[in-house]
Amino acid sequence: MKKLFLSAVAVIGLMGANYTIMPYGAFLSYDNSVKDKGYIGGIYGTIYKSPIKFEYGIERDIIQYKDTTPDWKQWNFTGVFNFFKGYNYVFRAGLNHLKVSQGNTKENDNVYILGALYYKYLNYNSGINFYHSKYKDFKVNQVSLKYGKYFKNYDGTFYFEIKPNFIFISDKIKANTPKKNYTDVDFKLTATKWPWMTTLKASVGKNAYKVENGGFVVYNLGEEYKYNYGINVSRYFKNIGTFSIGFSRSKFSENNQDSYLNVYLLTYTRAF
- Local structure of 55: helix, strand or coil: strand
Q: What is the pTM of this model?
A: 0.93
pLDDT in the model for residue 65:
97
- Report how far apart, in Å, the C-alpha atoms of 234 and of each of 71, 130, 268 are: 32, 29, 9
Q: What angle do CA 167, 171, 174 make, to 5 degrees?
A: 120
- Report how far apart, in Å, the C-alpha atoms of 24 and of each of 188, 253, 255, 264 are: 21, 28, 31, 11
- Report how far apart, in Å, the C-alpha atoms of 131 and of each of 18, 167, 212, 234, 247 are: 27, 9, 9, 29, 26
pLDDT in the model for residue 16:
56
Are the C-beta atoms of 175 and 209 separated by less than 8 Å?
A: yes
Are the C-beta atoms of 34 and 68 separated by less than 8 Å?
A: no
Closest CA to 197 of 13, 17, 48: 13
Are the C-beta atoms of 131 and 94 separated by less than 8 Å?
A: no
Q: What class does CATH assign to 6-271?
A: mainly beta
- What's the full length of the chain, in residues? 272
- For the chain, 272 residues long, give each residue's pLDDT as a single digit of tens: 544 443 344 434 444 579 999 999 999 999 999 999 999 999 999 999 999 999 999 999 999 999 999 999 999 999 999 999 999 999 999 999 999 999 999 999 999 999 999 999 989 999 999 999 999 999 999 999 999 999 987 677 999 999 999 999 999 999 999 999 999 999 999 999 999 999 999 999 999 999 999 999 999 999 999 999 999 999 999 989 999 999 999 999 998 899 999 999 999 999 98
Return the amino acid letter for 57.
G
Residues 6 or more apart in contact with residue 152 via CB below 8 angstroms = 158
